């Protein structure tokens, strides 16, 4: 249910509605727009007395949210959400609305020296958030699984030194506390998009969550996963389209360009694209990144390596640093054309 307050109502009226919602055993989530406040009342079906809420001072209307996801919906929050990443030990970066974001770095952190080398390259190329895997979801249990906490330490040190917020994957509820000590943003991988306990756990933190779309998830499934995070009080969710399984086998996954306008219509959350994991090979990464930005994405996540042939993981899709830099030049132009801007 959403409770739309009349324009410019006093705070006391908002507080009154909130306490009434809580008295009904539900949770109240506030969305403050430019002109009015909307209150989301979330709880078990039937718990909310719609008529009672309608009679309260300052309430303009009470309307049910028809979509199964509530806090993620445009009905609840009409304007694009802008999410802040970093701002503690690094400058902050914004994504959503007119703010575009470029995340780049290696698939996995192989050693300290390679991380620094790639980080310097991607910063120079225009990336503003540094990525790197410390815990890797590998198809085979015998493949390299990541260097764990040691890699997190290197990533933190490197991000701080270069002034870039960092983003890394968390795969399990048991890792959330540890990863939270280091990262500026949690990445939930495609294979964990419906790990509901994990979603709840990152939802209890105050760090942004980059939520990759599952390999076989519909946009609705994806938004319901975002809802798990939002329902815990964490409002900083960024969607990431990274390709889905289709019958097409000339590429690793099919990047679903359509999901970008669809998700943007249904939801206020920022959405970026990861063309690297979709394509699985570097020669298609540029085209997909450009298409994603033109379709309305708020940015990209791209894997880069100076020597892809020797990469421990995902070498075939890694861009060389110079290719990444020239792609960023193109992406800046496309973003501008569509009313969005990368910070540099
Ligand atoms: C990654 O970003 O390194 C990764 C494993 O992504 P995905 O979960 O999309 O496969
Ligand atoms: Mn990868």
Question: Are residues 297 and 150 part of one domain?
Answer: yes
Q: Is 127 helix (H, G, I), strand (E, B) or coil?
A: coil
Closest listed residue to residue 212, CA positions, set 226, 198, 201, 197: 226
Query: Mean pLDDT for the chain?
Result: 97
| 94 CA → ligand 1 middle, Å | 22
Establish if 109 belongs to a structural domain: yes
Whether residue 54 is found in the same domain as residue 190:
no
Tell which one of 129, 277, 313 to mutate to probe ligand 1, the residue whose CB is within 8 A of the most ligand atoms: 277
Ligand minimally distant from the alpha carbon of residue 136? 1
Fill in the DSSP letter of residue 319.
B
What's the whole-number mean pLDDT along residues 142-156?
A: 96
Which protein residue's CA is at the shortest distance from atom 3 of ligand 1? Answer: 107
Count of structural domains, the chain: 2
270-281: average pLDDT: 98
pLDDT at 230: 97
Which of 25-34, 176-185, 235-244 shows the lowest mean pLDDT across its residues? 25-34
All residues with CB under 5 Å from ion ligand 2? 107, 314
Do 28 and 127 fall into the same domain?
A: no
Which CATH number fits the domain that encloses residue 22?
Answer: 3.30.70.1140
Question: Given this model, what pLDDT does residue 46 score?
Answer: 87
Q: Residue 33: which pLDDT band, with cuts at 50, 70 and 90? A: confident
pLDDT at position 34 is: 82
**CATH code where residue 279 lies:** 3.20.20.70
In the reported structure, the alpha carbon of residue 247 is separated from the centroid of ligand 1 by a whole-number distance in angstroms of: 20
End-to-end CA distance of the chain: 41
pLDDT tier at 44 (50, 70, 90 boundaries)? Answer: confident
Cβ-based neighbours of 274, under 8 Å, separated by 6 or more: 212, 240, 241, 242, 243, 300, 301, 302
* Domain carrying residue 22: 2-63
259: pLDDT strictly greater than 90? yes
| Residues 56, 131 within the same domain | no
In the predicted model, what is the mean pLDDT of residues 167-182? 98
**Mean pLDDT of the 72-94 span:** 97
Choose one of 63, 96, 111: the last residue of a domain: 63
User: Which of the listed residues 242, 276, 288 should we mutate to test ligand 1's pocket, taking the one with most ligand atoms within 8 A of CB?
Assistant: 242
Are 15 and 135 contained in the same domain? no
Q: Is the pLDDT of residue 344 over 80?
A: no
> Could you tell me if 111 and 51 lie in one domain?
no
Digit-coded pLDDT (tens) for 96-106? 999 999 999 99
Catalogue the E-assigned strands of the chain: 2-5, 27-32, 37-42, 59-63, 83-86, 92-95, 101-105, 129-131, 166-169, 185-188, 209-212, 237-241, 271-273, 299-303
Tell me what the mean pLDDT of segment 157-178 comes to. Answer: 98
In a domain, 69, yes or no: no
Please indicate, yes or no, if residue 137 is contained in any of the structural domains: yes
Rounded to the nearest 5°, which phi and psi values hold at 272?
-120, 170
Whether residue 34 sits in one domain with residue 101: no
Q: Is 343 within a domain? A: no
Long-range contacts of 189-197, Cβ-Cβ distance < 8 Å, separation of 24 or more: 189/137, 190/214, 190/215, 190/242, 190/277, 191/137, 191/215, 192/137, 193/217, 193/221, 193/222, 193/225, 194/221, 194/225, 196/225, 196/228, 197/173
| Ligand 2 mean position, distance from CA 107 (Å) | 4
Predicted local distance difference test score (pLDDT) of residue 267: 98
CB atoms closer than 10 angstroms to residue 192: 20
Average pLDDT (280-298) is 98
Which residues surround ligand 1 with Cβ inside 6 Å?
107, 133, 137, 189-191, 212, 242, 274, 277
pLDDT in tens, 197-248: 999 999 999 999 999 999 999 999 999 999 999 999 999 999 999 999 999 9
Residue 6 inside a domain? The answer is: yes
Q: How far apart are CA 38 and CA 48, in angstroms?
A: 16
Contacts of residue 112, Cβ cutoff 8 Å, sequence gap at least 6: 154
Predicted local distance difference test score (pLDDT) of residue 35:
82
Do 168 and 217 share a domain, yes or no? yes
Q: Please determine, for residue 314, whether its predicted confidence score (pLDDT) is greater than 80.
A: yes
* Angle (CA) 295 91 301, round 5°: 30
Q: Which ligand is nearest to the CA of 213?
A: 1
The reply to whether 213 falls in a domain is yes
Is residue 113, in this structure, part of any structural domain at all? yes
Residue 342: inside a domain = no
**239 in the same domain as 295:** yes
Range 330-344 average pLDDT? 95
CA of 139 to the centre of ligand 1 (A): 11
Provide, rounded to the nearest whole percent, the portion of the chain with pLDDT above 70: 100
Which residue has its alpha carbon closest to ligand 1 atom 10? 190
* C-alpha 118 to ligand 1 mean position (Å): 18
| Closest atom of ligand 1 to CA, residue 314 | 3
Residues 197, 165, single domain; the answer is yes
**How far does the centroid of ligand 1 lie from the alpha carbon of residue 277, in Å?**
6
Structure tokens at 305: 């390596």
31 and 105 co-located in one domain? no
Q: Give the number of the atom of ligand 1 that is nearest the alpha carbon of residue 243.
A: 9
Which atom from ligand 1 is nearest to the alpha carbon of 276?
2
What confidence score (pLDDT) does residue 199 get? 98
Average pLDDT estimate for 315-337: 98
Q: Ligand 1: distance of its center to the CA of 43 in Å?
A: 33
Residue 29 has a pLDDT of 95
Share of the chain above pLDDT 90, in %: 96
- 96 CA to middle of ligand 2, Å? 24
Q: Are residues 192 and 314 in the same domain?
A: yes
What integer is the mean pLDDT of 179-187? 98
**What beta strand segments (E) does 193-236 contain?**
209-212
């Amino acid at each position: 249910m959403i409770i739309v307050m009349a324009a410019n109502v006093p705070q006391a009226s908002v507080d009154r509605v909130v306490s009434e919602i809580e008295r009904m055993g539900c949770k109240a989530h506030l969305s403050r727009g430019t002109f009015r406040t909307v209150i989301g009342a979330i709880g078990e079906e039937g718990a909310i007395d719609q008529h009672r809420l309608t009679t309260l001072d300052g309430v303009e209307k009470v309307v049910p949210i028809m979509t199964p996801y509530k806090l993620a919906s445009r009905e609840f929050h009409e304007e694009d959400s802008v999410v802040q990443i970093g701002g503690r030990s690094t400058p902050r970066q914004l994504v959503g609305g007119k703010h575009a974001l470029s995340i780049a770095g290696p698939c996995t952190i192989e050693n300290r020296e390679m991380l620094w080398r790639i980080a310097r390259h991607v910063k120079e190329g225009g990336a503003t958030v540094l990525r790197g895997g410390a815990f890797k979801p590998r198809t085979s249990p015998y493949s390299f699984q990541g260097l764990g906490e040691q890699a997190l330490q290197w990533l933190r040190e490197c991000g701080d030194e270069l002034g870039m917020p960092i983003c890394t994957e968390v795969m399990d509820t048991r890792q959330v506390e540890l990863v939270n000590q280091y990262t500026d943003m949690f990445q939930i991988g495609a294979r964990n998009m419906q790990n509901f306990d994990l979603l709840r756990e990152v939802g209890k933190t105050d760090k942004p969550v980059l939520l990759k779309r599952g390999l076989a998830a519909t946009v609705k499934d994806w938004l319901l996963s975002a809802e798990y995070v939002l329902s815990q009080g964490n409002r900083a969710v960024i969607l990431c389209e990274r390709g889905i399984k289709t019958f097409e086998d000339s590429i690793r996954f099919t990047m679903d360009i359509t999901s970008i306008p669809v998700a943007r219509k249904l939801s206020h959350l920022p959405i970026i694209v990861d063309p690297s994991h979709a394509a699985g090979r570097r020669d298609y990464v540029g085209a997909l990144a450009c298409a994603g930005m033109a379709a309305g994405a708020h940015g990209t996540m791209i894997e880069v390596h100076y020597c892809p042939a020797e990469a421990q993981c995902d070498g075939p899709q890694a861009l060389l640093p110079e290719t990444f830099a020239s792609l960023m030049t193109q992406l800046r132009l496309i973003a501008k054309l569509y009313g969005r801007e990368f910070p540099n």
